[in-house]
Amino acid sequence: MIAAESEVQIDNDQVRVTEWRLASNSATGHHTHGMDYVIVPVVAGEMTIVAPNGERSKAQLASYFRKAGVQHDVLNETATEIVFLEVELKP
């Protein structure tokens, strides 16, 4: 797997907005979300989510909200690029 690309677009006292681009066969790397966050897809796609225990699940990219503390790796095991915005809500 190659590393996903990310670009912080906004970072202020209220939010951090990061654009994530996952080329085919790329991954974000295992991480823990330190803030509540919203994911907003820019293009449709299928993600593979890997839990800390190694359990894998597939998910169609769609907007969703999660609380801080989520731990996972996000992989693109498809032939097309996945692009989404991550909006982290600062306390």
Per residue in 47-72, pLDDT (tens digit) is 999 999 999 999 999 999 999 999 99
Mean pLDDT of all residues in the chain? Answer: 97
Give the three-class secondary structure for 52: coil
| pLDDT of the residue at 47 | 96
Residue 77: CATH number of its domain: 2.60.120.10
At 1 the pLDDT is 86
Which residue segment(s) compose the domain that 12 sits in?
2-89
Please answer whether residues 50 and 42 qualify as being in contact, where contact means their C-beta atoms are separated by less than 8 angstroms.
Answer: no
Residue 83, Cβ density class (10 Å: 0-12 exposed, 13-18 middle, ≥19 buried) = middle
Domain tally, the chain = 1
Instruction: Tell me: pLDDT of 44 over 90.
Output: no
Question: What was the pLDDT predicted at 13?
Answer: 98
Q: What is the mean pLDDT of residues 40-47?
A: 94
